[in-house]
Amino acid sequence: MLEQFPPTEAVALAALAEQHGFTGVMASDHFQPWVPRQGQSSFVWNVLAALGERTVGDLGPVTTPTFRTHPAVVAQASATLAAMYPGRHWLGIGSGEALNEHVVGQYWPEAPERINRMFEAVDLIRKLFSGSLAGRDVRHAGPNFRLESTRLWTMPDTAPEILIATAGPVTARRAGTHGDGLITTSAPIDRVAPLLARFAAGAKESGRDASTLSKVLQLHLSWAPTDEAAMRGALEEWPIGGLRFGRSDIRSPFEFEQIARTVRPEDFEGRMLVSADPDVHRAHIQRYLDLGFDRIYLHNVGRNQAEWIEVFGRDVLPGLHR
């Protein structure tokens, strides 16, 4: 989470994680942190390039190519990263939050319009990837974006995988139709399982088998040597994990800070595991692997990253299986 750590520290922690058995990195694309206490928000593409030099695993962002950044620019950034680190980079695309996207002063629409913009951006990026690989210019004229005749002049041999972020059944089905995979975030099993089913249905509609597409989970958790310290880390560093309502329309870290003061320990129940017991975390992660996820990116919400990486690399990762 680039909202929590300066870029050089984030890169060093990713390299440390790889030394302890982790095999890939997902990086957040924020213009602002969720709450002021987090204190950072570096530019994700710079950090990903540095990560590529310090690690050997997969790497990618979840970015929003619909407001702050035109889809063509995101396509260029992604293609360049994939050319630099062949076979390692994937591109995650989401519909965004006002916290980051309102800063350029555009109208912030309701969720259905944001989702439609996201899928048009996916189509435009895919068009650029395929056209550029074929050595031809492409153009686009849609309800939200225009692209005059052009191509990407720097391309990898194979276009990056496009994963679509979703938290709802309609978006999950469309992701199965339009994307190379799905990304979703921490939620109870009974909410996540239907998303995978809808994703599979969408893939079938497009003539594909969902088992051949990526299913990715971003799992927030709070671990510390004691349950009390783990809960303190959750409340202080990641109170948004306890919010029980949509947060896409909140525009300021200071607004989040005020709302987060209402979060209590019981609000994390069923939404984010808070525990000092590595075995409890291992069993929790395994349930999502058993559900059918191919990759799970773990985010320990506290500041105790090096300690957490060592403990999970030793006591959690070796016990997981697919």
Backbone angles phi, psi at 314, to 5 degrees: -85, -45
The CA distance from 220 to 260, in Å, is: 17
User: Choosing from 30, 102, 281, 299, which is the catalytic residue?
Assistant: 30
What angle is formed at CA 20 by the lines to CA 16 and CA 22, rounded to 5 degrees?
A: 90
Amino acid at 100: N
- Neighbour tally for 68: CB within 10 Å: 18
Nearest residue to 273 (alpha-carbon basis) of 306, 316, 313, 310: 316
The CA distance from 258 to 250, in Å, is: 11
Distances (CA, A) of 316 to 103, 220, 223, 300, 304: 40, 15, 12, 13, 16
User: Choosing from 18, 97, 120, 237, which is the catalytic residue?
Assistant: 97
Q: Is 237 a catalytic residue?
A: no
Q: Is 97 a catalytic residue?
A: yes
Q: In the structure encoding, which two tokens stand for residue 298, read together?
A: 């773990």
Structural contact between residues 93 and 178, judged by C-beta atoms closer than 8 angstroms: no
Q: In the structure encoding, which two tokens stand for residue 228, read together?
A: 């009390």
The CA distance from 200 to 33, in Å, is: 34
Structural contact between residues 274 and 222, judged by C-beta atoms closer than 8 angstroms: yes
The CA distance from 30 to 56, in Å, is: 24
- Beta strand residue intervals within 104-160, DSSP E: 138-141, 146-150
Nearest residue to 232 (alpha-carbon basis) of 277, 265, 262, 187: 265
The CA distance from 51 to 269, in Å, is: 33
Helix count (H) and strand count (E) of the chain?
A: 11, 10
Q: Which residues are catalytic?
A: 30, 97
